[in-house]
Amino acid sequence: MADASTKFCPKCSSSLVSFSVLDGTMTGTSSASCGACSWKGALNELLSVPFQHDFTSDEAMLHQLKVELRNTIAKGAGTDLAKLLMRWGFVSQGKPEDMKVRLSRLLEALATGALRELLLEREKIEKEVVR
Ligand SMILES: [Zn+2]
């Protein structure tokens, strides 16, 4: 179990909110939006609820973590990864739009697999610390 907080839309209470934790850390004013209703506003307007969780209990939080992980991978190593995946035959030469879709799916799979292993390893580490 770990401490975390999840964020909700101030208008409809949905957890389908999108926001960047990195943009507005200092000011809390980065933009946030709700995927369930049309609400748009600042990060610090979102309702925040602290909770205890295990890694199967909050899909919305996991999804957000995965999105950030995928974006970090894409930003930091996207070009090199694309080259590697092409060299190893995961993406064959073709129409640029097809290659883009294929690469995007592979990146998503990479983030999903990495997230699974990250959570398993964190669980192992936390169990070691308790003993
Ligand atoms: Zn909403």
* Domain ranges within the chain, ordered by starting residue: 2-53, 59-130
Q: Are 35 and 17 in contact (CB under 8 A)?
A: yes
Determine the distance separating the centroid of ligand 1 and the alpha carbon of 16, expressed in angstroms: 7
Residue 114 Cα to ligand 1 middle (Å) = 30
What average pLDDT is seen over the chain? 77
Calculate how far, in angstroms, residue 105's C-alpha sits from the geometric centre of ligand 1: 28
Question: What would the pLDDT profile of 49-89 be if each residue is shown by its tens digit?
Answer: 665 555 555 666 777 788 888 888 888 888 888 889 889 98
Q: Are 65 and 116 in contact (CB under 8 A)?
A: no
- Cβ-count burial of 69 within 10 angstroms (0-12 exposed, 13-18 middle, 19+ buried)? middle
Q: How far is the CA of 28 from the centre of ligand 1 (A)?
A: 19
Task: State how far the alpha carbon of 21 is from the alpha carbons of 17, 43, 44, 81, in Å.
Answer: 12, 8, 10, 25
Q: Which residue has the tokens 């035959």?
A: 89
